[in-house]
């Protein structure tokens, strides 16, 4: 009987703790005026004028700047053309949907910043940084003009265009965590 009570108290404490931490994390959201493709494009245009060495040297993470720009461009491009590999339908309808809902509510995303999109072309470390940035800018401009049916996200499932815009912006802003002296503002 004592073991059952201990397990019950332990489980309730865990749920309360997770709920409290989730509420705290969700209450610290970003400025929604910055969470648009237009605001992101403005930020990227500022980066585009940096000298090649400075732009290439922004990343302090495992991926260099060009790899980050390419990775984010791939995500935008795949939202229009289709992702090469997907998580299971169950994952997308449960964990994926819950994760996207939490990110959307918070206005911020957190994910493994060195995890490639499943089955996406390899991120070449020697790619020209300005070319990779131009690819990201072009992909976002293309997405803004895109009128066709959007492909399901590999982890989140079906998203509206507005949801995808939010996801793309949050995705890049999360990668800013690997850039020195850059902020979302």
CA distance 108 to 147: 26
| Nearest of 33, 35, 73, 25 to residue 166 by alpha carbon | 35
SS3 content of the chain, % helix, strand, coil (to 5): 60, 0, 35
At 111-154, the pLDDT tens digits run: 999 999 999 999 999 999 999 999 999 999 999 999 999 999 99
* pLDDT tens sequence across 70-124: 999 999 999 999 999 999 999 999 999 999 999 999 999 999 999 999 999 999 9
| Mean pLDDT of the chain, nearest integer | 86
Give CA separation, 126 vs 2, 25, 49, 77, 180, in Å: 61, 37, 20, 21, 20
pTM over 0.75: yes
In this predicted structure, the answer to whether residue 167 has a pLDDT above a threshold of 80 is yes
Mean pLDDT of 31-36: 78
Spell out the domain ranges in the chain. 1-29, 31-178
Chain position carrying tokens 């509510």: 105
Closest CA to 52 of 109, 133, 115: 133
Choice between 15 and 33, residue whose per-residue pLDDT is larger: 33
């Amino acid at each position: 009987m004592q073991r059952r009570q201990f397990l019950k108290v332990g489980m309730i404490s865990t749920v309360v703790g997770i709920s409290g931490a989730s509420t705290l994390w969700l209450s610290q959201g970003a400025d929604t005026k910055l969470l648009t493709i237009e605001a992101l494009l403005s930020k990227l245009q500022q980066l585009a004028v940096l000298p090649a060495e400075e732009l290439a040297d922004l990343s302090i993470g495992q991926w260099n700047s060009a790899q980050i720009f390419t990775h984010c461009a791939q995500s935008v491009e795949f939202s229009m053309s289709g992702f090469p590999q997907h998580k299971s339908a169950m994952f997308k309808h449960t964990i994926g949907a819950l994760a996207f809902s939490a990110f959307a509510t918070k206005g911020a995303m957190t994910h493994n910043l060195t995890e490639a999109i499943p089955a996406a072309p390899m991120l070449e470390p020697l790619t020209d940084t300005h070319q990779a940035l131009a690819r990201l800018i072009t992909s976002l401009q293309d997405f803004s003009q895109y009128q066709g049916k959007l492909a399901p996200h590999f982890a989140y499932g079906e998203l509206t265009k507005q949801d995808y815009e939010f996801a793309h912006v949050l995705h890049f802003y999360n990668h800013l965590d690997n850039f020195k002296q850059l902020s979302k503002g």
